[in-house]
Amino acid sequence: MSTPADTAPAGAVRQASLREINLALLLGRIAVAPRPPSRAELAAATGLTRATVSAVVDDLIGGGLVTEVEPTPRGGAGRPARGLLLAGHGPAGLGLEINVDYLAVCVLDLTGAVRHRAVHRADLRPVSPAETLALAAGLARQARADAHGQGLTLAGAALAVPGLVDADGVVRLAPNLGWREVDVPALLAAHPPLTEAVPGLPTLVVENEANLAALGELHTGDPGTTTFLYVSGEVGIGAGIVLDGTLYRGVRGFSGEIGHLPVHPEGHPCRCGGRGCLETYAGQEAILTAAGLTGADVAGDAVRLARLAAGATRRPSPRWPGRGRRSAWRWPGW
């Protein structure tokens, strides 16, 4: 069966594609500009004609993506032009995170402002994936209602998981949660209460939490920094690798799993099935246990640990088990 793109004249298709390119180009320029640019400045920066820029900007304003602001008075002849800013009253993004000891949700508008945030603290290790997703769906429902009440429309959603996630959204392995081969999209589709909890929710992107954090840093951090390593440290340890502005996944897509690099071949057992993994020494639970701080009050323990560290006197410590070692690593079973 033919599609509109198949039957439409080639010129019309090219024109539509060019329009999308120009929309993305100008929206990106406005997003990263150090101050609100005018239409004339956008034309000069992009090489587009003023007429094209004006038409595209009108589309962006009409779509609720961009807003005009009054010009700042300045000296010289002529009337100052209005500047353009990302709008904070239209499309928004929903972020969900499943971690070992909490669920979190937030809503961000296009300006990057957090418009809703909620955290549900619980030990999720004994909870099944379906039950965990049901809890996450409940948080998403509340976030969507709050966003709607503020005049926002959810245009995208992402779910962060502390584990190996493939391109299809399947959690291949999340050892700290006890998840293996959890097909999140299929699980959501097979349980109507989960999808019905958030009617109209856009397609959910499932990704490793450190990778998503690295992408967040890329788009909201220093514009000149496009190659870096983002390290996430909680119960587990992970990393997001960004090279020249692109998330690097490696051959199998799991390049950032540094928490399971062995630092001691005969070290502590790890939930991944290996021994001596980095997170068994530097993960949140490992640090709290080593400091003699255990229990359910992780936040309180962290505060007490920081106070102890601030008032402690330096004393000799055992040699770090991984210091000076080099090892080739392969996740057990992969």
Of 18-32, 85-99, 193-207, minimum mean pLDDT range: 193-207
Record the tokens describing residue 207, joined without a space: 């990704």
DSSP 248: E
Model confidence band, residue 200 (pLDDT cutoffs 50, 70, 90): low
Residue 15 above 90 pLDDT? no
* Mean residue pLDDT across the chain: 82
Percent with pLDDT over 70 in the chain: 77
Sequence-separated contacts (24+) of 24-30 with Cβ below 8 Å: 26/53, 26/56, 26/57, 26/60, 27/60, 27/65, 27/66, 27/86, 30/60, 30/66, 30/84, 30/85, 30/86
CA dihedral 155, 161, 166, 168 (to 10 degrees): -40
Name 156's bridge partners: 93
Rounded Cα gap, residues 146 and 139, in angstroms: 11
CB atoms within 10 A of CB 28: 11
The residue that leads in pLDDT, 204 or 21, is 21
Distances (CA, A) of 243 to 32, 160, 247, 311: 19, 21, 6, 39
Structural domains in the chain, sorted by start: 17-70 (1.10.10), 91-208 (3.30.420.40), 216-311 (3.30.420.40)
Of 95-109, 118-132, 205-219, 311-325, minimum mean pLDDT range: 311-325
CB–CB of 118/140 below 8 Å?
A: no
Q: What is the pLDDT of residue 309?
A: 66
Q: What is the pLDDT of residue 252?
A: 76
Model confidence band, residue 48 (pLDDT cutoffs 50, 70, 90): very high
First and final CA of the chain: distance in angstroms? Answer: 41
Written as one string, the DSSP assignment of 140-209 is: HHHHHHHHHHTT-EEEEEEEEESSEE-TTSEEEEETTTTEEEEEHHHHHHH-HHHHHTSTTPPPEEEEEH
The residue that leads in pLDDT, 182 or 194, is 182
Rounded Cα gap, residues 48 and 213, in angstroms: 34
Model confidence band, residue 53 (pLDDT cutoffs 50, 70, 90): very high
Q: Which amino acid is located at 329 in the chain?
A: W
Task: Read off the pTM.
Answer: 0.78
Residue 159 above 50 pLDDT? yes
Q: Is the dihedral of CA 252, 255, 258, 259 positive or negative?
A: negative
> What phi and psi values does residue 51 have, to the nearest 5 degrees?
-65, -40
Rounded Cα gap, residues 283 and 178, in angstroms: 17
**Average pLDDT for 173-187:** 92
Residue 311 above 90 pLDDT? no
DSSP 260: G
Q: What is the pLDDT of residue 197?
A: 58
